[in-house]
């Protein structure tokens, strides 16, 4: 929309013609803008909607502004028509005509009926006055201001209505598909958290759509520093939050569907892991008896039995699968798989702890035989002193129960004797095994 030049002295004929041409162009631009506003889809929606909240308040003000716009435009049209009529009286305008045209084109000679409506801008109304006088330039400025505020309100509402309801409807359709899938695997409200989430998302989306339709301006975020009509974007905070919540539910449903597809294989793997844990514990118990019989003066940890609670939970999982209770089977399987792996690890650690004395004895036997082989390779296999020391160490290591502390000292004595015979430096004492008080056996 155009802006008229400020007033000046009495205009000549050329100035009048240029002013009329400019005002005619402005009139055409203003009319085009008003007709576009009149036919704007957002305006038609606002007129037919049951509005609430801030949108209802701003639309009431915008309707009053649009009414004033047309009143001002009619007054502007009448003034322009009068000026054109005066200019058309004669080809060469007289002094009186030019004075009259100057007053009409630049002076405050446009009369507009006053308004005391509370929604009208204060500069457009004067309480107690039935009419006001404007220049054509001032009238254009007022129409520009009214048009900008009215268009901003209409464009903003239309932008929200164009963006959010359609997105909400698409999300609601996805929600319905997810609900149907959830019901097929037993995820229902009151029985599974995801079922409760679906109900909450449904209520939130229904309420959000109703609020967006009735009060679109409540879901608009203006752009900082922007004065253009409709500057900003729809506020999608609530929508985005519910979209993320639905995505989380869909992942949960997918997990339940995966459980339904591979539940049998996972149950078989669980039984296998628990069976290996039981066999390992049984081996540890047998090994403990062997250690107690073959190793003397050794504290052997007690081996506990298999936990019956895991077998009970495994039976419950099989029951869930039998009755297609996938939503209950899914978290139980995940928990059982972790517990079964932990149980197998515990059984292996028990076996390692129980058989540690046997491993020490095996290491001592290997060390003794390795030194004997070295002595024999160097030609001292028949040395009486070495044979005596070797036999003493061997009797201790191959007798039951074996005292590991005494046996280790015997092996060390054989090593030292072999070193002396071979002319090598003595093997530095390594100390005996540590007892639980940290004391070295002699």
- Token pair listed for 248: 């989380």
CB 256 within 8 A of CB 185: yes
Q: Which is it for strands 295-296 and 402-403: parallel, antiparallel or unpaired?
A: parallel
What the block records as the tokens of 208 is: 């959000």
Rounded CA separation 338/349 (Å): 17
**Joined tokens for residue 375:** 């002595």
pLDDT of residue 302 exceeding 50, the answer is yes
The mean pLDDT of 199-212, rounded to a whole number, is 95
Q: How many other CB atoms sit within 10 Å of the CB of residue 86?
A: 19
| pLDDT confidence of residue 140 | 87
Determine the Cα–Cα distance for residues 20 and 72; give it in Å rounded to an integer: 18
Contact 364, 404 (CB under 8 A): yes
User: Whole-model pTM?
Assistant: 0.55
pLDDT above 60: residue 127: no
CA torsion sign for 280, 281, 283, 284 is positive
**Radius of gyration of the chain measured on its C-alpha atoms:** 49
Average pLDDT of the segment spanning 128-134: 66
CA distance 68 to 75: 11
pLDDT tens for residues 140-165?
A: 888 888 898 899 889 999 999 999 99
Please state whether the peptide bond connecting residue 306 to the residue before it is cis, i.e. omega within 30 degrees of 0. no
> Do the beta carbons of residue 132 and residue 112 sit within 8 Å?
yes
DSSP letter at 217? Answer: G
What are 337-362's pLDDT values in tens digits? 899 999 899 889 888 888 888 888 88
Average pLDDT over residues 225-244: 82
pLDDT at 177: 93
């Amino acid at each position: 929309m155009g802006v008229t030049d400020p007033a000046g002295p009495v205009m000549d004929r050329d100035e009048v013609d240029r002013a009329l041409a400019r005002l005619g162009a402005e009139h055409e631009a203003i009319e085009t803008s008003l007709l576009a506003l009149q036919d704007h889809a957002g305006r038609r929606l606002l007129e037919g909607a049951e509005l609430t909240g801030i949108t209802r308040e701003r639309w009431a003000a915008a309707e009053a502004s649009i009414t004033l716009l047309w009143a001002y435009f009619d007054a502007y049209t009448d003034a322009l028509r009068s000026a054109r009529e005066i200019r058309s009286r004669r080809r060469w305008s007289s002094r009186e005509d030019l004075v009259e045209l100057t007053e009409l084109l630049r002076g405050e000679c446009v009369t507009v009926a006053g308004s005391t409506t509370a929604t009208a801008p204060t500069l457009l109304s004067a309480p107690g006055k039935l009419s006001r006088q404007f220049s054509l330039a001032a009238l254009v400025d007022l129409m520009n201001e009214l048009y900008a505020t009215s268009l901003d309100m209409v464009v903003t509402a239309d932008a929200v209505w164009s963006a959010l309801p359609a997105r909400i409807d698409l999300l609601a359709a996805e929600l319905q598909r997810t609900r149907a899938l959830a019901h097929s695997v037993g995820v229902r409200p009151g029985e599974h958290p995801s079922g409760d989430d679906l109900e909450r998302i449904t209520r939130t989306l229904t309420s959000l759509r109703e609020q967006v339709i009735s009060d679109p301006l409540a879901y608009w975020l203006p752009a900082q520093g922007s004065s253009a009509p409709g500057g900003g974007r729809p506020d999608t905070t609530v929508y985005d939050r519910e979209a993320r919540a639905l995505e989380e539910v869909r992942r949960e449903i997918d997990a339940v569907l995966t459980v339904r597809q591979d539940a049998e294989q996972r149950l078989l793997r669980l039984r296998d892991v628990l069976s290996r844990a039981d066999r390992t514990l049984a081996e540890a118990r047998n090994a403990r008896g062997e250690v107690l019989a073959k190793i003397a003066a050794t504290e052997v940890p007690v081996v506990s039995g298999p936990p019956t609670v895991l077998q009970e939970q495994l039976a419950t999982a099989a029951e869930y699968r039998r009755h297609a209770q996938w939503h209950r089977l899914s978290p139980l399987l995940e928990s059982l798989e972790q517990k079964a792996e932990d149980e197998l690890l515990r059984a292996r650690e028990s076996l390692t702890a129980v058989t540690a004395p046997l491993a020490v004895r095996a290491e001592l036997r290997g060390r003794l035989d390795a030194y004997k082989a070295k002595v024999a390779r160097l030609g001292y296999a028949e040395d009486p002193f070495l044979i005596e020391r070797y036999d003493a160490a061997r009797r201790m290591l191959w007798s039951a129960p074996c005292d590991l502390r005494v046996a280790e000292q015997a092996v060390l004595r054989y090593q030292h004797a072999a070193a002396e015979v071979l002319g090598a430096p003595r093997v530095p004492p390594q100390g005996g095994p540590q007892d639980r008080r940290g004391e070295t056996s002699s």
